[in-house]
Amino acid sequence: MAKLDAKKLHIATKAIHVGGHPDKETGAIMPPIYQTTTYAQASPGKHQGYEYSRCHNPTRTRLEECMASLENAKHGLVTASGLSATMLVMHALPEGSTILCGDDIYGGTYRMFTTVFHERHNFIFVDTTDLKTLKEKFEEHKPKAIWIETPTNPLLKITDIKKVTELAKKYKAMSFVDNTFMSPYFQKPLELGADVVMHSVTKFINGHSDVVGGAMMTNKTSFYKKVWTLQKSIGPTQSPFDSWLVLRGVKTLPIRMEAHQKNAMKVAMYLEAHADVESVVYPGLKSHPQHAIAKRQMSGFGGMITFFLKGDIKRSKKFLSKVKLFALAESLGGVESLIEHPAIMTHASVPKKVREEIGLKDNLIRLSVGIEHIDDLINDLDQAFKASKK
């Protein structure tokens, strides 16, 4: 076989073939799991690029190549979890950096910034969808970096990546985008001007709820090298077996994302028409306040839906205990549908006062719509609405 020029391929082909090339030694179509700690050297210091698996592992290298190619990035680094990718980039920023940060972000990221890195950096939380206020914050604080998540978790607010990264460039601030919710199939932040994109590969990238992992991609070689050195020095690398599982899962990313969004659109429309629902937030709905930006910067709307149930927290709890197909669980992005209550579950680490300020109310329910048959999903929600009314 001759060598592929991956740059010319479509994302559906890259997801299968980049990093998925046949094994040189045996021709095995599936990549070997290099379950090894160390590598034999021909003479001291003379090796094939692999010395020790905390630093490099050939199975992980394949996944890094694949992740970089999906985001059209020069470099990709795969880490033990999404949060460890975030941790490494936070260490890579100079001590004492002022960082503007979205005010509605993944609860674990919020916890890391406010309880781990708050002594190293100065975080300023701001609604990154509000460009006017954001501009004022840039002017006032002259930050070193901006951290955005779009769509946000769980309110699904959309930040205009192009406009925000342009603003960041003007103030010489680095821009970071958590692209976990959209995956590179629907959104490519680097092409919209971001410096660094990160993922919890635990979610849509792997897609099968059987791995925890993370990744960060960038075109900035010096920043990549810094983060790689930090990974080597601190140690949050992914095991070869987990990298192998993600390599397998990511092959179907494009068809899974299509299926997620097809189902999510139908579920969102069903919810919007339901008498027991106060409101629905889904970027694909015309009622979404930033639907126009979503259409511009994303090529699809993803599988995540947030809705507000009519009634008090008791009704929400009852509804959540009556679903049969949707599993009541944290996490998202797997082929199976999940449902959760952010205020009690994923976002419990966000103080109640802050939750109320940003609109993360007690009747807010988050769905990760899977790829089951749509009728079964809607029937399940339907019976849970009825059963929770009694």
Ligand X SMILES: *Cc1c(COP(=O)(O)O)cnc(C)c1O
Residues that bind ligand X (CB under 6 A): 81-83, 106, 108-109, 149, 153, 178, 180-181, 200, 202-203, 212, 214
248 tagged catalytic: no
* Closest to 338 in 3D by CA, of 250, 242, 207, 237: 207
Query: Catalytic one among 160, 178, 242, 362?
Result: 178
* CA atoms within a 13 Å half-sphere pointing along the CA-CB vector of 66: 32
Task: State the residue number with the nearest CB to ligand X.
Answer: 82
Dihedral sign of CA atoms 349, 354, 357, 362 in order:
positive
How far is it, in rounded angstroms, from Cα 199 to Cα 217? 9
Q: Kindly state the smallest distance separating residue 21's Cβ from ligand X, in Å.
A: 26
Annotated catalytic residue: which of 39, 50, 54, 262?
54
Q: Chain centroid to CA 164: how far?
A: 19
Task: Report the residue number, 149 or 340, with the smaller CB distance to ligand X.
Answer: 149
Q: Is 178 a catalytic residue?
A: yes
Phi then psi dihedrals of residue 57, to 5 deg: -150, 135
Structure tokens at 18: 């980049």
106 catalytic residue (yes or no):
yes
Q: Return the CA Rg of the chain.
A: 21
Based on CB atoms, which residue is closest to ligand X, 272 or 336?
336
To ligand X, the closest distance from the beta carbon of 126 in angstroms equals 18
Instruction: Assess whether 195 carries a catalytic annotation.
Output: no
Q: How far apart are CA 369 and CA 353, in angstroms?
A: 29
89 versus 277: smaller Cβ distance to ligand X: 89
* Least distance to ligand X, CB of residue 109, Å: 6
Q: Which residues contact 47 (CB under 8 A, 6 or more apart)?
A: 39, 40, 41
Q: In the bound complex, what is the minimum distance in angstroms from residue 46's beta carbon to ligand X?
A: 37
Nearer to ligand X, 31 or 214 (CB): 214
CB 179 within 8 A of CB 189: yes
Q: How far is the CB of 202 from ligand X (least distance, A)?
A: 4
Based on CB atoms, which residue is closest to ligand X, 320 or 332? Answer: 332
Residue positions annotated with a catalytic role: 54, 106, 178, 203
